[in-house]
Structure 1
Amino acid sequence: MKKNSLTNLTFLLLFVFSICNVFNITAQGLNENKSKSDFWNHVQFGGGLGLGFGSGYTNITIAPSAIYNFNEKVSLGIGTQYSYVNQKGFYKSNIYGGSIIGLINPIEQIQLSAELEQLKVNNSYLTGGGSIKDGFWNTALFIGAGYRAENITIGLRYNVLHKDRNNVYVDALMPFIRIYF
């Protein structure tokens, strides 16, 4: 399942980009006055950066993403994520993966979202006699809603696939801030 999950996610991402190009080509054919390609006029980039430091603790996350705006109400996008977590003398973790996100804005101030995320987690626990390694795949399906002001959305999302064991996230419900430029 591990390799199949990554393969499925890759094919799904390629499919999404293909669909975006098809919609772009169709829209161009309907309006001769448009420039040769306005695909990039509909793309927005964003993502997240996270830094956490403490006494012997480090947490660094980078999560770039991009969305394609089909119109004012519907967007579809992809993202990637990498996190490094280290509790000195106890724990190290490398987490990486990707996601697909769909956004719907029923009215200008409200944004609804669905995001499928697939992450590979590699943990290493340090013990007195060496280290214990633990690796697994984590799949999350977030359903969210937020208040939107221009390109910034603040809200809550819920992971409907949350499990108490082998999970990247401590809780199924979490706040978010989403920014796209």
Structure 2
Amino acid sequence: MTKNCFLKESKSFFTLIAVFFSCCLFAQQDDLQSETENEFWRNVQFGGGIGLGFGSGYTDISLAPSAIYNFNKYVAFGVGAQYKYLKQKDYYASHLYGGSLIGLLNPINQIQLSAELEQLRVNVNLDGSNSNSQDYWNTGLFIGAGYRSGNATIGARYNVLNDKNNIYGSAFMPFFRMYF
């Protein structure tokens, strides 16, 4: 084997090795980036509620999706949206919409403490009178506690900002929360 032939083969061999390792290095970089992205989405949970209520001349339809990010097994924080339609035949129709900030604390696996700041726009149209229609903002700050099993929590919450003009019938409310 001549010296030129050996150098040619060596250059080809080292070029092949360099290309191979650079591909591996780029693949590792992509894996690290996608691993970081996967880690974020692994800590995100989606949930919310859907409600339907019908009665004698009464309709109540609600949709409330939410998402939380689990910082660790004890603390989660998230956001929610809400839309609610209420109608009492021959009396009023109301649209409520807005959002909320949600904080969850799990001191032990079975207990979940929560705080939720909710801001809703309330539009009430009284039947037969445009002058009595109302549009206003309603703020609620709910502090709650519940029993947690897996992805589901059942408990109660209390609106510490409750007053006589509040849209809810009571400051104290039961809840069922589920995240996937």
TM-score by length of 1: 0.78
- Which position in structure 2 is the counterpart of 1:174? 173
- Which position in structure 1 is the counterpart of 2:25? none
Give the Cα separation in 2 of the matches to 1:110 and 1:54. 35
Q: Residues 23-62 of structure 1: matches in 2 within 5 Å?
A: 35-37=35-37, 38-62=39-63
- Which position in structure 2 is the counterpart of 1:126? 127
Q: Which runs of 5+ in 1 are unaligned?
A: 1-31
Give the Cα separation in 1 of the matches to 2:68 and 2:36. 21
Q: Which amino acid is 1:56 matched to?
A: G
The Cα shift of 1:135 comes to 1.1
- Which position in structure 2 is the counterpart of 1:142? 142
The Cα shift of 1:36 comes to 3.4
Which of structures 1 and 2 has the bigger CA Rg? 2
The Cα shift of 1:39 comes to 0.9
Q: Which amino acid is 1:148 matched to?
A: R
**Contact kept? 1:111, 1:153, Cα under 8 Å:** yes
Give the Cα separation in 2 of the matches to 1:148 and 1:164. 32
Q: Which amino acid is 2:104 matched to?
A: L
- Which position in structure 1 is the counterpart of 2:72? 71
Q: Which amino acid is 2:134 matched to?
A: D
- Which position in structure 2 is the counterpart of 1:9? none
Secondary structure, in 3 states, of the residue corresponding to 1:143?
strand
Indicate yes or no: 2:156 matched with 1:156: yes
The Cα shift of 1:45 comes to 0.3
Indicate yes or no: 2:98 matched with 1:97: yes
**Contact kept? 1:79, 1:99, Cα under 8 Å:** yes
The Cα shift of 1:105 comes to 0.2
- Which position in structure 1 is the counterpart of 2:10? none
The Cα shift of 1:33 comes to 10
CA RMSD, 1 decimal? 1.4
Secondary structure, in 3 states, of the residue corresponding to 2:36?
coil
Indicate yes or no: 2:89 matched with 1:88: yes
Give the Cα separation in 1 of the matches to 2:44 and 2:124. 35
The Cα shift of 1:57 comes to 1.1
TM-score by length of 2: 0.79
Indicate yes or no: 2:138 matched with 1:107: no
Give the Cα separation in 2 of the matches to 1:95 and 1:80. 11
The Cα shift of 1:47 comes to 0.2
- Which position in structure 2 is the counterpart of 1:6? none
Q: Which runs of 5+ in 2 are unaligned?
A: 1-31
For residues 39 and 33 of structure 1, do their structure 2 counterparts lie closer, same or farther at Cα, with a shift above 3 Å needed?
closer
Q: Which amino acid is 1:107 matched to?
A: I
- Which position in structure 2 is the counterpart of 1:12? none
